[in-house]
Structure 1
Amino acid sequence: GATGAPAPDAGASGAPAPAKPAPPADAGLPAKPGADLAAKLVSALNAIDPEIVGGKPDQAVDRARNQCQSMYQFPKDEQKLVELANQRFTSADHPQGFGPETAAKINEALLATLCPPSR
């Protein structure tokens, strides 16, 4: 039962922390953004390359949310996050993604808008 109370910090008492349960499947997945935040996200992506969204803002938001979750799971692995963004954000003209440079910019745009900063 989630009562909403934060879990006590086991590390502070000096006792060994219990084994962590596996995080829920949606750990790090941001909630679906409201219209304002979605518009910010879309315009941030459009500023990099209009083809990233390509007239499908809902799809772009879904991809962004999934990418945020990857950032949560691999906060330090810049290389992996760039690869994932490149795989995730594709278009008809860029079926293999937009390349590492653009993928890195996508990640920056997501951190600035949708993803809670995890580092």
Structure 2
Amino acid sequence: MNHRTATAILSAVIAAAALTACGSDTATDKPSAKTPPATAPSTPAAPVATSSSSSAAETPKGKEIPPKPDAATQAKYIAALTAIDPDIVNTKPDKAVDRGRNQCETIANFPKDEQKQVDLTNQRFTSPNHPDGFGPAKAAKIRDAVHTHLCPTY
């Protein structure tokens, strides 16, 4: 057998194998002796939680991340943060609002744990000049501004 014939036969075998593997119709396929039939699990599988569903599941009912504030509320919130330290907003008011709205979820999840709220505020509110946060004293003030302006009912 010459090289061309061997190559042609090998190509045909590979193509046939690929078509057999990819071109099956699951309605008419029968398990082969080599492949054991699929068995159903004895208990139903739990659904996989996504990041959005897991955060909603952890938040008490009705205490989800609040909607974006109206312009007047946002202006008061940004002014309160700027009064604490202008670097908190750092020319990015939308980012400060998003961080505050996320902080509302922390306030809802840990309503009686002020230390945890302050710790998470300090982790969440950072800037280039304060990459590790603004410290516990300012974090407590930031948390209070968030609570007052973005989620007063939490």
Structure 2, unaligned stretches of length 5 or more? Answer: 1-53
TM-score, scaled to structure 1 = 0.76
Matched, 1:58 2:58: no
Greater helix proportion: 2
Matched with 1:98 is: 134
CA contact (8 A) 2:65 2:101 kept: yes
Q: How does 1:77-96 map to 2 (within 5 A)?
A: 77-96=113-132
State the identity %.
57
Q: Distance in 2 between matches of 1:46 and 1:52?
A: 7
Q: Counterpart of 2:56 in structure 1: which amino acid? A: P
The SS at the match of 2:56 is: coil
Task: Please identify the structure whose Cα radius of gyration is greater.
Answer: 2
Is 1:24 paired with 2:56?
yes
Query: 1:112: Cα distance to partner?
Result: 1.4
Helix, strand or coil: the match of 1:93? coil
Unaligned runs of 5+ in 1: 1-21
- Most deviating of 24-33 and 81-90: 24-33
Instruction: Tell me the equivalent position of 1:111.
Output: 147
Per-residue CA deviations over 1:62-93 (Å, capped at 9, x if unaligned) read 00000011101111111100010000000001
Tell me if 1:36 matches 2:72. Answer: yes
Aligned residues of 2:56 and 2:64 also touching (Cα < 8 A):
no
- Superposed CA deviations along residues 28-72 of structure 1, whole A, max 9, x for unmatched, are 311111111111110010010000001100000000000011101
1:28·1:73 contact (CA, 8 Å) conserved in 2? no
Greater RCO (Cα-Cα under 8 Å, separation 6 or more): 1
